[in-house]
């Protein structure tokens, strides 16, 4: 296996920092790891290490093999094609290219084969979609899935580092009896829930909800899967949770579902109600697996199943998935 | 209209205090308002008023016309029959009698007629059920409801005052970098979500989830309504939110749904995504109405509809509903 020049675009952000740490921790084989930001500067990670970032211009991609992007849609739209033009393979964590039919949208445990069809850009799905399709794939493969009703409980880190700071600041203010200032979100998020993630469309759905609908079909490669979603921000720092109700193609006993999920790569069953064990967001910070619990038959329909899915939105929902795509690119000789 | 001797059992608790304030604020016509607790003593409300409570014994109900109970199932099972035996009509906020076929389970806006069938005890439904059936009744009356998939976002005040203190204490500890102590809940609730309310049954459902299933059928008087629920505690002090997916008996346009809900007693439509207006728990503390927003067609099935329902679990979900039942008892001459 050779070594590659790797770039992280948006390296100082919440997801960028996770990319930086995951690239190192998983030993992605790089010669150079180039950190890119809006402008030249330094940033310090939580463990106290100072890193230098340089300005992300089209030219800095000249000798880059793989670029992991997490700098927002606008930056991706501008720079990803420039990087691709220069021979870089871009793994993009923004929503810019996800629904482009020419661009693969990949969760490595679900549709790794799509990686090989890239034309210079591969899109990383939305965090809430990644953990849902990751958990549902083994069930889908066994019995099929007709319909998904999902309600989410999403962490503020999905909106970046400023949102995490806002939740902490607001919580502090409220505990001190002061008013909570809302800047990142339109309303107070501390001790509150906002049924609103990303922009609203005319039919009343949010863009986040439609991402779950459309990306699920594309990643699963099955337009017949029906998805309806309600996405909600709750005052949690890291980790998204999802209450998922499924109408399956055929009956699946809870025991079978657990066996399928336990055997799947990147998925772990955490489901022991007797011992009060179920997936929780406050235990997800160091975890890469998608956790599934509260697995119950839903007898209100034929072949119904309820699940509670928790994953780390910064890692599996974002940075880890991009690094895993990069690993597959290398493994498949698809650069 | 005469005046009545009214008792509040568990007056010093989170719901008991709300009962005390709502009885006064709505002018329930009482001669005497007798506050009862486990033992003689005093307690002070948030506005600084000190109240005296006396020990709840069977004998103190001798001259009481109406008793509002919120002291837990065990106390209700022991004392409510004693009170009823002495001619008191009990409105009980515990789960002790809710599913007893002989005992009416009432939301005054939904099934007021059931009040008249009481034999001394009327049960107040579970908080999460009250707000759901309250919001769904006008829709049910118009087009019928075949199936409900509900995921909840419930406030800690549903577990009483100690849980509210625990959330605040844990939040403070975490902000100070200290460990959070969990006593009321089995796990940390601050900056976390617990997919676990009340005890677990063998099939993996919780008692809270089955309350939503069974109480809904009983209150609506329709066993054919199918309900599947996932109930979740989130770090919010007051107010439960619910993401509700409906399969209706016939198509209902969003506009019609809004008109039906707006015309219903005790329900208010709060749904203007363009202005980022939707029901939120942090605005519910002083509100009696059930708020409904995020009203959207769900086109994955025929006649599908998604809703986001928020109500004050201490008021409409508990204390207010018991006082409204008492008012109806008086109005209907059903004491």
Q: What is the pLDDT at residue B2? A: 80
Query: A100 and chain B: CB distance < 8 Å anywhere?
Result: no
pLDDT digits (tens, 9 = 90+) for A5-32: 999 999 999 899 999 999 999 999 999 9
Q: How far apart are CA A238 and CA B173, in angstroms?
A: 18
Active-site annotation holds for A187: no
Q: How far apart are CA B260 and CA B240, in angstroms?
A: 22
Query: B308 and chain A: CB distance < 8 Å anywhere?
Result: yes
Topology annotation, domain A129-313: Dihydrodipicolinate Reductase; domain 2 (3.30.360)
pLDDT at B73 over 60: yes
pLDDT digits (tens, 9 = 90+) for A307-318: 999 999 999 999
Q: What is the pLDDT at residue A2? A: 80
pLDDT at B33 over 80: yes
C-alpha closest to that of A271 among A317, A306, A315? A306
Q: Give me the residue label for tokens 């009509």.
A: B89
Which chain A residues touch B304 with a CB distance below 8 Å? 228
Helices (H), chain A: 14-25, 73-85, 127-143, 161-175, 207-220, 254-263, 320-331
Q: What is the pLDDT at residue B236? A: 98
pLDDT band at A1 (very low <50, low <70, confident <90, very high): low
Q: Which of residues 228 through 287 in chain A touch B, CB cutoff 8 A? A: 228, 230, 232, 234-237, 241, 243, 245, 254, 271, 273-274, 276, 278-282
pLDDT digits (tens, 9 = 90+) for B117-160: 999 999 999 999 999 999 999 999 999 999 999 999 999 999 99
Q: Which residues pair with B226 in a beta bridge?
A: B147
Where are any strands of DSSP class E within chain B? 4-9, 30-37, 41-44, 50-55, 66-69, 89-92, 121-123, 145-153, 226-230, 240-248, 267-269, 290-298, 304-311
Active-site annotation holds for B240: yes
Look up the CATH superfamily of B4-124+318-331. NAD(P)-binding Rossmann-like Domain (3.40.50.720)
Q: Is A233 annotated as a binding residue?
A: yes
pLDDT digits (tens, 9 = 90+) for B268-294: 999 999 999 999 999 999 999 999 999
pLDDT at B1 over 70: no
DSSP track, B162-193: HHHHHHHHHHHHHHTTPPPP-SSSSS--TT--
Quote ipTM for the complex. 0.96
Q: How far apart are CA A11 and CA A71, in angstroms?
A: 8
Determine the straight-line distance between the first and last CA of chain B, rounded to whole angstroms. Answer: 13
pLDDT digits (tens, 9 = 90+) for B166-218: 999 999 999 999 999 999 999 999 999 999 999 999 999 999 999 999 999 99
Residue B297 distance to chain A (closest CA, Å): 8
pLDDT digits (tens, 9 = 90+) for B301-322: 999 999 999 999 999 999 999 9
A153 to B205: CB separation less than 8 angstroms, yes or no:
no
Domain range annotation of chain B = 4-124+318-331, 129-313
A4-125+318-331 CATH: 3.40.50.720
């Amino acid at each position: 296996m050779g070594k590659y020049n790797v770039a992280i675009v948006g390296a100082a952000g919440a997801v960028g920092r996770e990319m930086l740490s995951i690239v190192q921790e998983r030993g992605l084989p790089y010669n150079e790891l180039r950190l890119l930001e809006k402008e030249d500067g330094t940033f310090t990670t939580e463990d106290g290490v100072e890193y230098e970032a340089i300005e992300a211009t089209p030219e800095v991609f000249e000798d880059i093999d793989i670029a992991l992007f997490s700098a927002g849609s606008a930056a991706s739209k501008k720079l990803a094609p420039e990087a691709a033009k220069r021979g870089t393979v871009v793994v993009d964590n923004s929503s810019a290219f996800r629904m482009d039919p020419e661009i693969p949208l990949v969760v490595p445990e679900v549709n790794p084969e799509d990686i090989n069809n890239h034309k210079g850009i591969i899109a990383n799905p939305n965090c809430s979609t990644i953990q849902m399709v990751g958990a549902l794939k083994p069930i889908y493969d066994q019995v099929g899935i007709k319909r998904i009703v999902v309600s989410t409980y999403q962490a503020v880190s999905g909106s970046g580092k400023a949102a995490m700071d806002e939740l902490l600041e607001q919580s502090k203010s409220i505990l001190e009896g002061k008013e909570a200032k809302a800047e990142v979100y339109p309303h107070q998020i501390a001790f509150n829930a906002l049924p609103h993630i990303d922009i609203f469309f005319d039919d009343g759905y949010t863009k986040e909800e439609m991402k779950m609908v459309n990306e699920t079909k594309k990643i699963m490669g099955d337009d017949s899967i029906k998805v309806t979603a309600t996405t909600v921000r709750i005052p949690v720092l890291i980790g998204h949770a999802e209450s998922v109700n499924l109408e399956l193609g055929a009956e699946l006993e809870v025991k079978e579902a657990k066996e399928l999920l336990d055997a799947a790569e990147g998925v772990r069953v955490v489901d022991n109600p007797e011992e009060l064990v179920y997936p929780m967001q406050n235990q997800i910070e160091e975890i890469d697996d998608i956790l599934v619990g509260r697995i119950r038959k839903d007898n209100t329909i034929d072949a119904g199943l309820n699940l509670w899915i928790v994953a780390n939105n910064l890692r599996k929902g974002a940075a880890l998935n991009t690094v895993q795509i990069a690993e597959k690119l290398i493994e498949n000789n698809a650069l």
